[in-house]
């Protein structure tokens, strides 16, 4: 049977067909759907972990215990999981262990464009790279076999377009895979220096065997057609190149690390001119050129951003298709991303802006508060950094600055990597005020559960983390919890806590308006045109349901969710229900 599947859905299908019994992840676009689709298979033990490091550590444990395992994350998540990845490389695995990592060329939802292939090189682990949904499924199976045959974790490198595009997949029956015996072997799995030194030798020998494997595996395919142009490529760049130059010769690298030197050399020597078309960094190109082979790559292929057929056509053939290139001659109104109507975060940032506080922000929906009209976030670097950065500002500029600043992060982000920052504030005698925006869900990546929601990935009830208890446990004495839309009291609390001579924790609570189980949506509000004075106070909260026309505010009844926040900023009682 054949089905049309997303790349991420195909990875999940591969996990089912090829005997994965443990799947862990932290959600992050464009990888999130892998684990959500895996959760549909009852025979796989699947979880959202607090962060990517924990996810990989659980995966490593499951692999050593004998279970085929997949751990999924986005590219920046691999930064968080780098410690266990680098450390498990030398010991190796037991059952197959695949780390599925989705890169985000073009930075559609990410803070950088890093190339995951570098992690394969640094960790000395193989990298497998599919180019469509069928390969997503089959390459996962291949990766599990490579993992077990060569005693190594394997990275399955995806990208936004592979993860989120659909193509035909051959659906097969589930194979028979059994839990492997657990080998209790301290000389393999205890990476104390005396053991790790020996395992380093093993890792290098494994890499040499993988280089030999790269020459013979059908993951690396040669297509000889017109020898005037040869293309060395991988992943989605293969699909783009094939669309533009269907008659060219191709060396498609499904195993993108380590590279098959002999196969590449033969291909380059047989073709008149060879281009290396790879998305993001010139990893293939630099290695191939180091062998003394003549190829053309980033001289004409951009390093920044995702590729496209149009980019490749223009770079290699110096051609453009009429009507394909976008026409920027006409000005199109800007449509910046905004917080949803009724968003929990809006009232908090409205108050922060009103008070003129410096806000060390973080990664989440609330990052949008950095932009107009709220303009109330000053920094946002990586997951969990807000707390440590706020303390850093205090250390640099003094305790008086701490009274003019806060750290702001979400519930899931706090659990992911904010707790250690809070410990640092207490331990190193900071005065930082930390605000946890608890909207009862991991919102930005599409409403995934987290340890504070009280539900597992499978929707089963579980213990919900108590933020107040965590605060007390790490030594915070001043802890306040408040409704995020009670902005009068919220303003009072923020003033009190930032003025205090000790660190404090504020927890703002209100479920995400889109969270179905919270049932937060009410009837839309209306503007009393006679009472409205046109002061634009309601516009300052940045709600997309509110517009200004003919010197009066008006509310779009389709967008309005009746959250009532606007009624609390209008001094003329011009906003109300029916």
Q: Look up residue 454 and give its two tokens.
A: 């009280």
Buried-exposed string 449-476: b where 16+ CB fall within 10 A, e elsewhere: bbbbbebebeeeeeeebebeebbeebeb
User: Residue 564 CB: number of other CB atoms within 10 A?
Assistant: 14
Report which secondary-structure segment, H or E, holds 10.
helix 7-17
Ligand-binding site membership of 560 (annotated): yes
Which one, of 89, 161, 140, lies nearest residue 119 by Cα?
A: 89
* Phi-psi label, residue 320: left if phi above 0, alpha if psi -120 to 50, beta otherwise: beta
Cα gap 150→219, rounded to integer Å? 16
Cα gap 337→340, rounded to integer Å? 9
* Phi-psi label, residue 161: left if phi above 0, alpha if psi -120 to 50, beta otherwise: alpha
Task: Considering only CA atoms, give the Rg of the chain.
Answer: 27
Strand 154-159 with 127-128, pairing: parallel
Task: Report the length, in residues, of the chain.
Answer: 578
What are the distances in angstroms from CA 62 to CA 16, 65, 123, 156, 179?
16, 5, 20, 18, 10
Q: Look up residue 355 and give its two tokens.
A: 């008070």
Contact in structure between 206 and 92 (CB atoms under 8 Å): yes
Which one, of 320, 485, 503, lies nearest residue 406 by Cα?
A: 503
Ligand-binding site membership of 538 (annotated): yes
Ligand-binding site membership of 340 (annotated): no
Strand 273-277 with 255-257, pairing: unpaired
DSSP H helical ranges for 343-486: 345-355, 385-397, 399-402, 411-413, 419-427, 467-474
Ligand-binding site membership of 512 (annotated): no
The whole-angstrom distance between residue 79's C-alpha and the CA centroid of its chain comes to 11
Q: Look up residue 318 and give its two tokens.
A: 């110096």
Q: Residues with Cβ < 8 Å from 325, sequence gap 6 or more?
A: 310
DSSP state letters, 30-98: TTHHHHHHHTT-TTSEEEE-SSHHHHHHHHHHHHHHT--EEEEEEHHHHHHTHHHHHHHHTT--SS-EE
Percent composition of the chain: helix, strand, coil (DSSP 3-state, to 5): 40, 20, 40
Ligand-binding site membership of 271 (annotated): no
Residue in the block written with tokens 């962060």: 51
User: Residue 566 CB: number of other CB atoms within 10 A?
Assistant: 24
Three-class secondary structure of residue 268 per DSSP: helix
Ligand-binding site membership of 382 (annotated): no
Helix 419-427 vs helix 467-474: crossing angle, to nearest 10: 30
Contact in structure between 254 and 234 (CB atoms under 8 Å): yes
Binding-site residue ranges: 532, 535, 538, 543, 560, 563, 566, 570
Binding-site residue ranges for [4Fe-4S] cluster: 532, 535, 538, 543, 560, 563, 566, 570
């Amino acid at each position: 049977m054949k089905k049309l599947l997303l790349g991420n859905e195909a990875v999940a299908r591969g996990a089912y067909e090829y005997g994965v019994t443990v799947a862990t992840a932290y959600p992050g676009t464009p990888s999130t759907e892998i684990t959500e689709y895996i959760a549909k298979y009852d025979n796989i033990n699947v979880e959202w972990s607090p962060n990517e490091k924990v996810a990989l550590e659980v995966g490593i444990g499951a692999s050593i215990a004998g279970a085929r395992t997949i751990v999924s994350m986005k590219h920046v998540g691999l930064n968080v999981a780098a410690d266990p990845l680098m450390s498990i490389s030398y010991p190796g695995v037991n059952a197959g262990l695949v780390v599925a990592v989705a890169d985000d060329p073009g930075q559609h939802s990410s803070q950088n464009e890093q190339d995951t292939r570098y992690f394969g090189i640094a960790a000395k682990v193989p990298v497998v790279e599919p180019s469509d949904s069928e390969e997503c499924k089959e390459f996962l199976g291949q990766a599990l076999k490579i993992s077990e045959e060569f005693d190594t974790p394997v990275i399955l490198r995806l990208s936004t377009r592979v993860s989120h595009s659909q193509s035909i997949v051959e659906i097969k029956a589930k194979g028979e895979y059994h839990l492997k015996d657990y080998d209790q072997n301290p000389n393999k799995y205890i990476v104390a220096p005396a053991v790790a030194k020996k395992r380093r030798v093993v890792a290098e020998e494994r890499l040499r065997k993988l280089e030999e494997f790269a020459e013979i595996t059908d993951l690396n395919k040669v297509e000889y057609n017109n020898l005037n142009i040869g293309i060395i490529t991988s992943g989605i760049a293969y699909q783009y190149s094939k669309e533009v130059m269907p008659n060219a010769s191709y060396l498609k690298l499904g195993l993108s690390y380590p590279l098959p030197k002999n196969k590449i050399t033969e291909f380059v020597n047989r073709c008149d001119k060879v281009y290396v078309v790879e998305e993001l960094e010139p990893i293939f190109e630099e290695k191939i050129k180091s062998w003394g082979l003549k190829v053309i790559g980033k001289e004409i292929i951009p390093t920044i951003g995702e590729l496209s057929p149009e980019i490749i056509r223009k770079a290699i053939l110096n051609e453009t298709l009429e009507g394909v290139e976008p026409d920027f001659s006409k000005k199109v109104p800007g449509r910046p991303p905004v917080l949803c109507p009724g968003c929990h975060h809006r009232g908090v940032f409205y108050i922060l802006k009103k008070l003129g506080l410096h806000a060390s922000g973080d990664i989440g929906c609330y990052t949008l508060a950095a932009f107009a009209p709220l303009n109330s976030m000053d920094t946002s670097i990586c997951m969990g950094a807000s707390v440590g950065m706020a303390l850093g500002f205090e250390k640099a500029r003094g305790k008086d600055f701490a009274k003019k600043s806060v750290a702001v992060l979400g519930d899931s982000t706090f659990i992911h990597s904010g707790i250690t920052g809070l410990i640092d504030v207490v331990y190193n005698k900071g005065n930082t005020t930390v605000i946890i925006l608890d909207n009862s869900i991991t919102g930005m990546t599409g409403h995934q559960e987290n340890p504070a929601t009280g539900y597992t990935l499978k929707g089963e009830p579980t213990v919900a983390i108590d933020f107040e208890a965590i605060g007390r446990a790490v030594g915070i004495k001043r802890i306040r919890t408040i409704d995020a839309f009670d902005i009068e009291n919220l303003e009072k609390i923020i003033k009190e806590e930032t003025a205090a001579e000790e660190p404090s924790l504020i927890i703002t609570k209100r479920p995400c308006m889109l969270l179905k189980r919270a049932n937060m949506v009410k009837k839309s509000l209306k503007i009393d045109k006679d009472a409205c004075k046109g002061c634009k106070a309601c516009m300052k909260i940045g709600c997309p349901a509110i517009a200004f026309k003919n010197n009066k505010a008006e509310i779009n009844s389709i967008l309005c969710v009746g959250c009532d926040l606007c009624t609390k900023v209008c001094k003329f009682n011009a906003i109300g229900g029916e």
